[in-house]
Amino acid sequence: MSERRVFSGIQPTAGSFQLGNYLGAIRHWVRLQETYQAFYCVVDLHSLTVPQDPAELRTATMTAYAQILAAGVDPARSVPFVQSHVAEHAQLTWVLQGLTGFGEASRMTQFKDKSTRGGAESASVGLFTYPMLMAADILLYRTHAVPVGEDQRQHLELTRDLAQRFNSRFGDTFVVPEAHIVKETAKILDLQDPTAKMSKSQPGGCVFLLDPPKVIAKKIRSAVTDSETEVRFDPAAKPGVSNLLTILAALTARDVETVAKAYQGSGYGALKADAADAVLAFAEPFAARVRELLDDPGELARVMADGAARAREVAAPVLATAYQRVGLVPAG
Ligand code: AQP
């Protein structure tokens, strides 16, 4: 097994992962566990940066964990765990907050977007310090590569800056991680507004993988395209059609140009129908596997606890080193 490590996380805030989460991130998690020491995390603490119903959050966390396993993350090949089970994440965050400039954090576009959506005054301080928690997640595992979608690139840059800053002030402690962004699927677009990324907070144009098959198929069949009829991969001029081609190509393991050629002369209807079929061919067995895992909560909790214990084995000594280097006196 390689000494190189990969880390990534996903929020449990919706009842179901959306297609962008799967294509942009989790699919790559599954692949990378074959060649890296892999740590994958349901980042429940990140979800607390916006209001949550406690019972819903508990259910969403169990469901998110089941979805990671159902997607192919294998506890025998990787370490899947829940962020709040490893207290070191919150502890290192505090140290990193002390190293982050207020102006630097203010430039994070995700904070600007999310805080303006609900009114800047009502945005939590947690939403502001979200990227430092993400940096702590990654740095605790001395991570080399972080598979994420394009929307996380800026947070990754901040993580790299914080690692370098810490290392140069206090001595070499953290690995400076690289973003692992697979260009083709880095930004799956909203089906109703193909200028925006697919996102659970815009449910109209978002495919939730655990939704009933009919709902999924209908959303894809009614995807916004354009007033032409020619199927062509041209993200700038034809974002809706190109998005459908990207989805279909990724799910059928083909090159996007090859897929586009197959629809020359056949119009948008056939493309939409095949994209819907491809999504369902993944989503239906995925949902069945999620249900199976959730039907045995005792076993799921056991796997979770095992993941947390293995994560802590790596995170605890890294946190202890960081605490010691910044001058905190050890407890005993
Ligand atoms: N549309 C997308 N295309 C490609 N990758 C995406 N990711 C999210 N949306 C897309 C990637 O999924 C991983 C998990 O992201 P997250 O935990 O930040 O999920 P999220 O932000 O809760 O997902 P949403 O739907 O995007 O939520 P909101 O509406 O809150 O913004 C990450 O690697 C992310 O890049």
148 lines ligand 1 (CB under 6 A): yes
Would you say the C-alpha torsion 93, 95, 98, 99 has a positive or negative sign? negative
pLDDT for 6 equals 98
Catalytic residues: 114, 197, 200
20 lines ligand 1 (CB under 6 A): yes
Coil vs helix vs strand at 10: strand
**What is the Å distance from ligand 1's center to 20 Cα?**
7
Closest CA to 112 of 129, 132, 128: 128
pLDDT for 122 equals 80
Residue whose pair of structure tokens reads 């994209």 in the numeric block: 275
Beta bridge partners of 42: 10, 82
Cα–chain-centroid distance for residue 273?
27
**Which residue, judged by its Cα, is nearest atom 24 of ligand 1?**
199
Atom of ligand 1 nearest to the CA of 149: 35
Closest CA to 314 of 146, 31, 156, 89: 89
Task: Give residue 117's region: left, alpha or beta (phi > 0; psi -120 to 50).
Answer: alpha
pLDDT for 54 equals 96
177 lines ligand 1 (CB under 6 A): no
**What is the Å distance from ligand 1's center to 21 Cα?**
5
Coil vs helix vs strand at 202: coil
pLDDT for 149 equals 82
Closest CA to 136 of 180, 182, 181, 98: 98
**Which residue, judged by its Cα, is nearest atom 15 of ligand 1?**
10
One digit per residue, the tens of pLDDT, for the chain of length 332 reads 678 999 999 999 768 999 999 999 999 999 999 999 999 999 999 999 999 999 999 999 999 999 999 999 999 999 999 999 999 999 999 999 999 999 999 999 988 888 887 666 788 999 999 999 999 999 999 999 999 888 899 999 999 999 999 999 999 999 999 999 988 888 999 999 999 999 998 999 999 999 999 999 999 999 999 999 999 999 999 999 999 999 999 999 999 999 999 998 888 999 999 999 999 999 999 999 999 999 999 999 999 999 999 999 999 999 999 999 999 999 87
**Which residue, judged by its Cα, is nearest atom 31 of ligand 1?**
199
**Which residue, judged by its Cα, is nearest atom 16 of ligand 1?**
10
**What is the Å distance from ligand 1's center to 327 Cα?**
36
10 lines ligand 1 (CB under 6 A): yes
pLDDT for 117 equals 76
Burial label for 230, CB within 10 Å (0-12, 13-18, 19+), is middle
Would you say the C-alpha torsion 231, 236, 237, 241 has a positive or negative sign? positive
24 lines ligand 1 (CB under 6 A): yes
H helices of the chain, in order, are 19-21, 27-32, 44-47, 54-71, 88-97, 102-106, 109-117, 125-139, 153-170, 213-221, 239-251, 256-262, 267-294, 297-326
- Best mutation site among 48, 109, 151, 159 for ligand 1 pocket (most ligand atoms within 8 Å of CB): 151
Q: How far apart are CA 140 and CA 5, in angstroms?
A: 11
Burial label for 202, CB within 10 Å (0-12, 13-18, 19+), is middle
pLDDT for 134 equals 98
**Which residue, judged by its Cα, is nearest atom 13 of ligand 1?**
21
Q: Which helix (H) or strand (E) holds 40?
A: strand 37-42
In sequence order, the 6+-apart residues with CB closer than 8 A to the CB of 267 are: 229, 231
Its pTM stands at 0.94
pLDDT for 150 equals 86
